[in-house]
Amino acid sequence: MADIKTFYLGYELKNPIILASCSLTRNIDNICQAESAGVAAVVLKSLFEEEIQSELGAVSSDFHPEAYEYEYSSAGLMYGSSKYLDLIKEAKKRVKIPVFASVNCIDSEIWIDYAKSIEEAGADGLELNISYISFSVNDDPREVEKRYLDIAESVKANLNIPIAVKIGWYFTSIPYMVKRLKDVGADGIVIFNRYYQLSYDIDKEKYVPVNYFSNASETYQVLRWVGVIHKQIDINIAATGGIHNAKQILEHIYMGASVVEIASVFYKNGIKYAENMLVELNKTLDDMNISSIKAIRGKGIDTIEEFKSLERVQYMKILGTKA
Ligand SMILES: Cc1cc2nc3c(=O)[nH]c(=O)nc-3n(C[C@H](O)[C@H](O)[C@H](O)COP(=O)(O)O)c2cc1C
68-100 tens-digit pLDDT: 444 433 333 455 678 899 999 999 999 999 999
Q: Which residue minimizes the CA distance to atom 28 of ligand 1? A: 22
212 band by pLDDT with thresholds 50, 70 and 90: confident
CA distances from 114 to 15, 85, 89, 103, 165 (A): 31, 10, 15, 10, 17
CA of 281 relative to ligand 1 center, distance in Å: 22
Q: Is the CB of residue 245 less than 8 Å from the CB of residue 269? A: no
243 in contact with ligand 1, CB cutoff 6 A: yes
Mean pLDDT on 280-290:
98
CA of 194 relative to ligand 1 center, distance in Å: 7
d(CA 165, CA 193): 10
Mean pLDDT on 212-230:
95
65 band by pLDDT with thresholds 50, 70 and 90: very low
240 in contact with ligand 1, CB cutoff 6 A: yes
Q: Is the CB of residue 120 less than 8 Å from the CB of residue 126? A: no
Q: When comparing pLDDT for 293 and 63, which is higher?
A: 293
> pTM above 0.95?
no
> How confident is the model at residue 67, as a pLDDT?
47
Residue whose CB lies within 8 A of the most ligand 1 atoms, among 192, 194, 213, 237, for a mutation test: 194
From the alpha carbon of 212, which atom of ligand 1 is closest? 31
Closest by CA to 37, choosing from 275, 283, 277, 263, is 275
Question: What sign results for the dihedral spanned by CA atoms 248, 220, 253, 317?
Answer: positive
CA of 53 relative to ligand 1 center, distance in Å: 22
> How confident is the model at residue 108, as a pLDDT?
56
Q: When comparing pLDDT for 321 and 31, which is higher?
A: 31
pLDDT at 60 over 80: no
Q: When comparing pLDDT for 322 and 264, which is higher?
A: 264
Residue whose CB lies within 8 A of the most ligand 1 atoms, among 68, 210, 237, for a mutation test: 68
CA of 64 relative to ligand 1 center, distance in Å: 14
Please, how many CA atoms are within 13 Å of residue 272, restricted to the half-sphere of its CB? 1
pLDDT at 63 over 60: no
CA of 113 relative to ligand 1 center, distance in Å: 25
Closest by CA to 101, choosing from 60, 153, 45, 142, is 45
> Of the ranges 70-84, 124-138, 222-236, 279-293, which one carries the lowest mean pLDDT score?
70-84
| CATH architecture of structural domain 6-322 | Alpha-Beta Barrel (3.20)
> How confident is the model at residue 175, as a pLDDT?
97
192 in contact with ligand 1, CB cutoff 6 A: no
110 band by pLDDT with thresholds 50, 70 and 90: low
> How confident is the model at residue 109, as a pLDDT?
65
Please, how many CA atoms are within 13 Å of residue 225, restricted to the half-sphere of its CB? 27
CA of 156 relative to ligand 1 center, distance in Å: 23
State what percent of residues in the chain have pLDDT above 90: 71
pLDDT at 52 over 70: no
244 in contact with ligand 1, CB cutoff 6 A: no
Mean pLDDT on 289-308:
90
Report residue 132: phi and psi, to 5°.
-85, 120
**Omega within 30 of 0 (cis) for the link into 192:** yes
pLDDT at 59 over 60: no
Q: Which residue minimizes the CA distance to atom 9 of ligand 1? A: 46
pLDDT at 234 over 50: yes
CA of 267 relative to ligand 1 center, distance in Å: 10
168 in contact with ligand 1, CB cutoff 6 A: no
> Of the ranges 34-43, 195-204, 302-311, which one carries the lowest mean pLDDT score?
302-311
